Amino acid sequence: RGGGGGGEGGEAALATLVVAGVGAGSVTLDWSGGVGEATSGGGTGGGTLYELQWRAAKPGRAWGEWATSESARAMVAHSATKRNLDPAALHQFRVRARASDGSWHTPFSSPTSPLRCLPLGQPQKPQQPQQP
């Protein structure tokens, strides 16, 4: 079985999510932790799978629903860059690990603070705290 930090006896541990960088229409995220049991990981030789979700809010509007994609529900890596984001909107992200029984009944990390990506044409830079 795969090792690493995680829950004992079927209890799920939360993954820790951080914003590693903000680019033009993109955000790079890193995470660690979550369930430590090996799960089916396709052709990757097993390992914990992660699901990344995101949502956006235009200025003066409520947050949209959490969204994901097929590829964002089968991530083995501990980082991802979400592209094609609207620079005019605020964005939040969260991640969770697949449970050792293969289900997604595990808690999500705390959402990131609301953030904006850079306008198109600007280079990526390390994340700095922004006020909504």
Task: Spell out the per-residue pLDDT of the chain, length 132, in tens.
Answer: 223 333 333 445 678 899 999 999 999 999 987 765 433 343 333 568 899 999 999 989 999 999 999 999 989 999 999 999 999 999 999 999 988 788 887 899 999 999 999 987 766 655 554 444
Positive or negative CA dihedral for 116, 82, 36, 2? negative
